[in-house]
A = this chain, B = another copy of it.
Amino acid sequence: MSVPRCRILSIGDELLLGRIADTNAAWIARWAWDLGLRVEGSEQVGDGQMAIVAALRRAAEGAELVVVTGGLGPTEDDRTRHALADALVRPLRASPVAERQIRARWARLRPGIPLADANLRQALVPAGATVLVNPAGTAPGIRARLDGAVVLCLPGVPQEMRTMLTGLAGRLPALLPGLRPPTVGELWLAGAGESEVQALIPGLLREADPMVGITVQDEGHLVLRAVGTPAQVRRTLAAARRPLAGLLLPAPGIAASVVAGLARRRARIACAESCTGGRIVAALTAVPGCSAVLGSSWVCYDQAAKTVLGVDPSVIRRHGVVSEAVAVAMAEAARRAAGAAYGLATTGIAGPGGGTRTCPVGTVHVACAGPTGSIVRRLALNGDRAAVLRRATHAALLLVWSALRGPVPVTAP
């Protein structure tokens, strides 16, 4: 039996205006391959109803599954449901199921405020189509059959779309006969770039039988994924594990690995962030269960805040506020003030202004104080302010992770 094909349609003028990149399509493509579909193409269409109708018909001709995102909002320029009704040649009707969902959500989110008429527009569904519950937002999704293809219409908000597609995965085999979910295996890596990882596993990356690829994650780690039969995936991961041993993470993400490593040692960490301004703690608190390992933390953006935390003003005078010595002093002060086993600190210049000849924009010092002493690194980071802050956060978490990855002492610190 042939592999069912998938086409992806992303709706919204903002995509064609180039205001945002279509990251939904890449996520959906991975979701589809993981379920055993072959992704044949993806397309971005504006908010115009006729353009959406044409794209829907074309996609349904060339695939067994069409995943559509966007254009389900409450405003007049959200036309996906109208376009779907046109393509199906069926009328739009208010769905009582959808209306109940919308009213219940509204009552919970805005108690006492009457529901705007525009929101009830989101309850419109082509006759005969199925309403898809949106547990993360207001706009329900729609499922319909167009020319034999299953069409899933989902909101364009990434979090809502992802939650809904994750929930729908289990129902797809019943909708698409012949779908055989492959095995998916992952290794999580940090401490090297994509090309360095590729050089360590020559010949392992491939597009089919099994599909093996590397993706760079926003959280700063890399994922090596293998998709194929159970035996193919097992062989691939076994072959990759030895050359990549020095880069392997125990959890999907550097922050998650740090939380796991601290928990294993029953240790806590305290952060004192200057330039990273809360991003390190934000990354740690994104991991459920981090409360067991996170102590008091500080954002000491200005010099006064650093001395209040306990950094000796003479260290700042002697070495300058952006220095290895101040980073170490901040990490040790945070560790002491919070009574934690580990202290983590950053001080640097994120830009765009503030750079000097000896200390240009992108200079960041990260320090980790622990039971057996402190380690510190000076980074020279590229990119704009956002990129420097993101990279500094990753480097700081990686520094703690490298301190934690050794064997756990018999007596916990």
A residues neighboring B (CB under 8 Å):
12-23, 25-33, 39-48, 51, 55, 73-77, 105, 108-109, 116-119, 135-137, 157, 159, 163, 193-199, 205-207, 211-216, 223, 225, 227, 271, 273, 275-282, 284-286, 288-291, 294-302, 304-305, 308-309, 338, 350-353, 380, 382-387, 389
Asked if B298 contacts A294 (CB within 8 A), the reply is no
Chain B CB within 10 Å, residue with most, of A19, A159, A290: A19
Name A271's closest neighbour in chain B (CB-CB). Answer: B299
Closest Cβ of chain B to A335, distance in Å, is 14
Residues in B neighbouring A44, C-beta threshold 8 A = 25, 41-43
The chain B residue sitting closest to A296, CB to CB, is: B305
B225 and A17 contact, CB distance less than 8 A: yes
Residues of B within 8 A of A275 (CB): 285
Q: How far is the CA of A279 from the CA of B103 in the complex (A)?
A: 31
Chain B: CB-nearest residue to A115: B195
Q: A271: which B residues are within 8 A, CB to CB?
A: 299
**Which residues of B have CB within 8 Å of A22?**
21-22, 25-26, 42
Query: B41 contacts A18, CB within 8 Å?
Result: no
Q: Identify which of B17, B109, B299 contacts A33 (C-beta below 8 A).
A: B17
Q: Is the CB of B298 within 8 A of A302?
A: no
B279 touches A198 (CB 8 A): no
Whether A302 contacts B295 in the complex (CB less than 8 A), given A39-B18, A75-B214, A286-B385, comes out as yes
Assess whether B382 is in contact with A13, with CB atoms less than 8 Å apart: no
Complex: A207 Cα to B13 Cα, angstroms: 8
**Knowing that A74-B198, A278-B282 are A-B contacts, what are 17 other residue pairs whose CB atoms are under 8 Å apart, sorted by A's residue number?**
A15-B26, A16-B40, A16-B41, A17-B29, A17-B30, A18-B26, A18-B33, A19-B26, A19-B30, A47-B213, A116-B195, A271-B299, A277-B284, A277-B294, A278-B280, A281-B301, A285-B301
- The answer on a CB contact under 8 Å between B294 and A297 is no
Select from chain B the residue with minimum beta-carbon distance to A74: B195
Q: Which residue of B lies closest to A77 (CB)?
A: B205
Which residues of B are found within 8 Å of A225, using beta-carbon distances?
Answer: 14, 17, 19
Asked if B298 contacts A296 (CB within 8 A), the reply is: yes
Chain B's nearest CB lies how many Å from the CB of A16?
4
Contacts of A302 in B (CB 8 A): 291, 294-296
Known: A17-B225, A271-B299. A77 touches B207 (CB 8 A): yes
Cα distance, A193 to B105, chains bound together (Å): 14
Residue of B nearest to A111 (CB): B380
Known: A195-B116, A281-B277. A286 touches B41 (CB 8 A): no
Chain B neighbourhood of A30, CB < 8 A: 17-19
Kindly provide the distance from the CB of A223 to the nearest chain B CB, expressed in whole angstroms. Answer: 8
How far is it, in angstroms, between the C-alpha of A302 and the C-alpha of B23 when the chains are bound? 36
Nearest chain-B residue to A73 (Cβ)? B194
Cβ B45 vs Cβ A41 within 8 A:
yes
Cα distance A23–B308 in the bound complex, in angstroms: 43
CA distance A300 to B383 in the complex (A): 31
Instruction: Provide 20 A-B residue pairs closer than 8 Å at the C-beta atoms, listed in order of the A residue.
Output: A16-B39, A17-B39, A18-B26, A18-B28, A18-B29, A18-B32, A18-B39, A19-B223, A22-B25, A47-B213, A48-B207, A118-B195, A163-B384, A275-B285, A277-B290, A278-B282, A288-B385, A291-B302, A295-B305, A297-B301
- Cβ B29 vs Cβ A198 within 8 A: no
B25 touches A21 (CB 8 A): yes
Q: Is the CB of B301 within 8 A of A294?
A: yes
Please tell me if the beta carbons of B216 and A157 are within 8 angstroms of each other in the complex. yes
Are B386 and A213 touching (Cβ within 8 A)?
A: no
